[in-house]
Amino acid sequence: MQNPTNSIKPEWTIIKLLKWTTSYFKSRDIESPRATAEILLAHILELKRIDLYLQYDQPLCAEELSRFKALIKRRVKREPVAYILGFKEFWSMDFAVTKDVLIPRPETEFLVEAGLKLLPEGSMSKQNLTRKRILELGTGSGAVILALASMRPHHLFFASDRAIAAAVQAKQNAERHALHGCVIFFCSDWFGTFGNGKPVFDVIVSNPPYVPSGVIAGLQPEINRYEPISALDGGEDGLSSLRSIVNAAHRHLCREGCLLLEIGHDQKDDILKIIEQSGNYEKVIFTKDYSGYDRIVQMQKKRT
Which residues form the interface with ligand GLN (CB under 6 A)?
A: 105, 207-211, 223, 232, 262
Q: How far is the CB of 264 from ligand GLN (least distance, A)?
A: 7
Note whether 260 and 206 are within 8 A (CB). yes
Round to whole Å and give the CA distance between 250 and 246: 7
Return the number of other C-beta atoms located less than 10 Å from residue 92's C-beta.
8
Distance in Å, CB of 182 to ligand GLN, minimum: 24
Nearer to ligand GLN, 256 or 266 (CB): 266
**What is the rounded CA–CA span in Å between residue 144 and residue 104?**
8
Q: Which is nearer to ligand GLN, 137 or 211 (CB)?
A: 211
Q: Which is nearer to ligand GLN, 38 or 222 (CB)?
A: 222
CB of residue 170 to ligand GLN, shortest distance in Å: 15
Give the relative orientation of helices 14-27 and 62-76 as an angle to the nearest 10 degrees.
20
CB of 266 to ligand GLN, least distance (A): 12
* Cβ nearer to ligand GLN, comparing 33 with 209: 209
Q: Nearer to ligand GLN by C-beta: 22 or 207?
A: 207
CB of 290 vs ligand GLN, minimal distance in Å: 12
CB of 238 to ligand GLN, least distance (A): 8
* Residue whose CB is less far from ligand GLN, 181 or 214: 214
Shortest distance (Å) from residue 188 CB to ligand GLN: 17
For the bound state, the minimum distance from the C-beta of residue 243 to ligand GLN, rounded and expressed in Å, comes to 14
Q: Which is nearer to ligand GLN, 97 or 232 (CB)?
A: 232
Our CB check for ligand GLN shows the closer of 147 and 232 to be 232
Ordered DSSP codes for the chain: ---HHHHTS---BHHHHHHHHHHHHHHTT-SSHHHHHHHHHHHHHT--HHHHHHTTTPBPPHHHHHHHHHHHHHHHTT--HHHHHTEEEETTEEEE--TTSPPPPGGGHHHHHHHHHTS----TT-TTPPPPEEEEES-TTSHHHHHHHHH-TTSEEEEEESSHHHHHHHHHHHHHTT-TTTEEEEE-STTTT--S----EEEEEE----B-HHHHTTS-HHHHTTS-GGGTB--TTS-HHHHHHHHHHGGGEEEEEEEEEE--TT-HHHHHHHHHHH--EEEEEEEE-TTS-EEEEEEEEPP-
